[in-house]
Structure 1
Amino acid sequence: MLEELDAMLSGHFIPYYKVCLGLAAIVSLVFSIVLSHGSVFEGKIAVIDLDGSNYSTELISKVNTSPFIEITEVIRSPVNPITLVSHDRNLGVLYIPKGLEKSLKKGDKTVKLGYFADDSNDAQNAKVMQSLNEIIPESGAELSVGKVAALGLGREATEATLSPMQLKTRTMFNPASSSTISTIIYFVYFFSSLTYGLTSLMIVGRLKTMGMWNTVIERGLLPLLARTVPYALFYTTALTLITAILVLFGQLRFDGNYFVFVPSIFMTGLAFGWLGFLLSWNTHHPGEGASRMIFLVPPGFIMGGSTMAVGIMPIWTFYASHAFPLVWLFRFFRDIGIRGRSFVDMLSTYGIFIIYLTVIAFIVMLFVNRIKNSQVE
């Protein structure tokens, strides 16, 4: 145990104590900001119940059972709703007017409930307002069924009267909810990228350990960038082989032309390699470079749309996520493989991807030139 602890702290191998703490910090801090626009479960709201009847109590209990709403407090007297949402106590306030139960039983007029939403962060209120818009009309319709049915309209006519329009959903790309399309293929690409990412991050440390670093720098930019080409070719071959097997055996639906998709895999491989150079530039041995894996592959897997809908991210996060190569690969797969987009449709995306690779290569060139200039001086 003491020997392994000494090895961990020596600086010659992967500093696991840094890796584990760094990963936890990134997930808990960075992604809590990045994913701040996600759905909020058990959103806290307060209720001002001026009716105080049995029906209003039942209605509050029904609202509280929603998976997206939690009633934190019920107040029976008029209160300024601003005080109830101050200091982030609640996301909003549901207002139940006096005479609710009486008006519903008489049926002489429509009763309007109010919801005061704290729109300082309206994204958090999305699910709350959606749930309330479902629960409140549904509860009112339950009371009206008997009255409408007594008019002799019949079941269908009654349903049409209570609900003149309905929304039906149809899934476009994965009607069978196949896990191969939605989950497995993303994990295949992710784990293949993990192994390649580790390899690319260890190249710089390996060259320094072998005493070849100065020679590599003297050769210039293109020979350094070319070192990633063999890895990118094998990366492309591996993903193509696995994808072909899944398609041939009927486990994966690939709607587009695979030859339109292949260049994106190779370009992603180049991006992994070149970003690996930048992340491991100041490392002195392979293990030190491998410890920086958390900055290369996992962020792209999390923000690339494999584990969540990219639409819940803030717009700036959506664009910033494209700094990670795996985001590009997932984007090309969804457009070409699932949505069946053609080469013409993907030209603009490929063009932006080429610009992205050019920027990375330019930064690597700046690093190479800086070392060359320091050696001359």
Structure 2
Amino acid sequence: MQNIIKSILEEIDAMLSGHFIPYFKVAIGLAMVVALIFSLVLSHGSVFEGKIAVIDLDGSKYSTELITKINTSPYIQVSEVIRSPVNPITLVSHDRNLGVLYIPKGLEKNIKKGEQTVNLGYFVDDTNDAQNSKVLPSLNEYIPELGAEISVNRISALGLGRDGTEATLSPMQIKSRNMFNPASSSTISTIVYFVYFFSSLTYGLTSLMIVGRLKATGMWNTVMERGPLALMARTTPYALFYTTGLTLISAILVVFGQLRFDGNYFAFLPSIFMTGLAFGWLGLLLSWNTKDPGQGASRMIFLVPPGFIMGGSTMAVGILPAWAYYASHCFPLVWLFRFFRDFAMRGRSLIDMLATYGAYIIFLTVIAAIVVTVYYHTQKSYNQNKAIENC
């Protein structure tokens, strides 16, 4: 226990010395800066007033009214209307528009006669699928409703009444409701993910430099004498500051109404600290053979970014094959994002999350066992070399 306490105090002295990363400042400061910047840059999580161009070859009164009604959608803004044929690629080049709506000639004539269905076209700029995530569904829902307005008047002459007419035109419908983020707020998803990511980057960088720093400063021999628990305990103060920084910025966002946290934060809190331990211990393993802090820092790509990519922040988890989904849990940030979604967004209780916590404890135990195994293997070689030198 004395060796563990000494190791922890040595890491605190290293943070305060001014010769290494002042993590106690970075953990809190970076989280606040990232939250502030992205809160200003990203006001919501969906594209509102997404610009689209319209190629209107009909040029009729009805097509003009149709364009005006489409423009009232909160997700769509008609930026330009062209009355002649044009290549749609030119209208979306340079991010000028998100897509192009094509209205064929004879729209008004065919609509009023009702002899055949008129197909409108929408050319999607799918260089970024997320850009049209609201525009295309809105068009698919809005266009049939506008077309039905004309059919209602025609069918109502049959004497079916309003309800009967609507049932004839649309016997079945689906209505959707967003359960966790109805306002499409980026703070609930994107901004929090970025705060966690950048905070994890600085902590991961710090943990990867511990082994190299100990070797460069001549303290590695002391580490080999104190035991594996004393070495693993060196990550504790960093994990505490990591937890403090994320908790502080989360509290600020919640207090000012920018973050919705439905669950019990105190039940979520252990998952942050456990993630800090996981980052620290994996950082020790990844940098075990390094001889200076710079070598350890160069291995950051293997620690934090994979978890950010596969944790559900940048792409849907559902598109991953089964083996990739389970393999992704080798990265601590995947666990933290999973806990955040369940506690903060879905409002799950501690009882509901006990199984996940149990799995995370097993994950930490496996990492700890590997660290201990590697430590004793290195210590054995160290003792042999030391015995040879004494001889």
**Amino acid across the alignment from 1:164:** P
What corresponds to 1:364 in structure 2? 371
Q: CA RMSD in A?
A: 2.9
Which of 287, 310, 316 is matched with 2:317 structurally?
310
Q: Show CA shifts across 1:212-238 (max 9, x none).
A: 112212211100100000000000111
Give the Cα–Cα distance (whole angstroms) in 2 for the partners of residues 244 and 290 of structure 1.
Answer: 31
Give the Cα–Cα distance (whole angstroms) in 2 for the partners of residues 256 and 290 of structure 1.
Answer: 36
Which of 358, 367, 381 is matched with 1:351 structurally?
358
Seen in structure 2, the aligned counterparts of structure 1 residues 247 and 147 have a Cα distance that, compared at 3 Å, is closer
**Amino acid across the alignment from 2:278:** A
TM-fit CA distance, 1:148? 6.0
What corresponds to 2:268 in structure 1? 261
Which of 172, 175, 195 is matched with 1:165 structurally?
172
**Amino acid across the alignment from 2:315:** M
Which of 193, 203, 213 is matched with 2:200 structurally?
193
Which has the higher mean CA deviation after the structures are superposed, 309-318 or 170-179?
A: 309-318
What corresponds to 2:343 in structure 1? 336
**Amino acid across the alignment from 1:362:** A
TM-fit CA distance, 1:150? 6.9
Seen in structure 2, the aligned counterparts of structure 1 residues 106 and 339 have a Cα distance that, compared at 3 Å, is closer
User: For this pair of structures, how many residues does the alignment match?
Assistant: 248
TM-fit CA distance, 1:156? 4.5
Where do 1:272-283 residues align within 5 Å? 272-283=279-290
What corresponds to 1:322 in structure 2? 329
SS at match of 2:181: coil
Q: Show CA shifts across 1:342-365 (max 9, x none).
A: 111111111111110000011111
What corresponds to 1:94 in structure 2? none
TM-fit CA distance, 1:376? 3.5
Where do 1:29-68 residues align within 5 Å? none
Give the Cα–Cα distance (whole angstroms) in 2 for the partners of residues 305 and 156 of structure 1.
Answer: 43
Where do 1:122-271 residues align within 5 Å? 151-153=158-160, 156-271=163-278
Which of 284, 289, 300 is matched with 2:296 structurally?
289
Q: Show CA shifts across 1:227-273 (max 9, x none).
A: 00000000011111000000111111111111101111110000000
SS at match of 1:253: coil
Q: Show CA shifts across 1:18-55 (max 9, x none).
A: xxxxxxxxxxxxxxxxxxxxxxxxxxxxxxxxxxxxxx
Give the Cα–Cα distance (whole angstroms) in 1 for the partners of residues 354 and 306 of structure 2.
Answer: 26
TM-score (norm 1): 0.60
TM-fit CA distance, 1:281? 1.0
Q: Show CA shifts across 1:118-144 (max 9, x none).
A: xxxxxxxxxxxxx9xx99xx8xx99x9
Stretches (4+) displaced over 2 A: 144-159
Where do 1:72-111 residues align within 5 Å? none
Which has the higher mean CA deviation after the structures are superposed, 303-312 or 252-261?
A: 303-312
**Amino acid across the alignment from 2:164:** A
Q: Show CA shifts across 1:62-118 (max 9, x none).
A: xxxxxxxxxxxxxxxxxxxxxxxxxxxxxxxxxxxxxxxxxxx999xxxxxxxxxxx
Seen in structure 2, the aligned counterparts of structure 1 residues 181 and 333 have a Cα distance that, compared at 3 Å, is same
SS at match of 1:238: helix
Q: Show CA shifts across 1:258-304 (max 9, x none).
A: 11011111100000000001111111111111111111111111111
Give the Cα–Cα distance (whole angstroms) in 1 for the partners of residues 115 and 349 of structure 2.
Answer: 61
Give the Cα–Cα distance (whole angstroms) in 2 for the partners of residues 146 and 181 of structure 1.
Answer: 44
Give the Cα–Cα distance (whole angstroms) in 1 for the partners of residues 294 and 244 of structure 2.
Answer: 27
TM-fit CA distance, 1:145? 8.6
Q: Show CA shifts across 1:181-231 (max 9, x none).
A: 021111111111110010001111111111211221221110010000000
**Amino acid across the alignment from 1:372:** Q
TM-fit CA distance, 1:339? 1.1
**Amino acid across the alignment from 2:371:** V
Give the Cα–Cα distance (whole angstroms) in 2 for the partners of residues 173 and 146 of structure 1.
Answer: 39
**Amino acid across the alignment from 1:273:** G
TM-score (norm 2): 0.58
**Amino acid across the alignment from 1:223:** A
SS at match of 1:283: coil
Give the Cα–Cα distance (whole angstroms) in 1 for the partners of residues 290 and 379 of structure 2.
Answer: 18
**Amino acid across the alignment from 1:229:** T
SS at match of 1:332: helix
Structure 1, unmatched stretches of 5+, are 1-104, 108-130
Give the Cα–Cα distance (whole angstroms) in 2 for the partners of residues 155 and 198 of structure 1.
Answer: 66
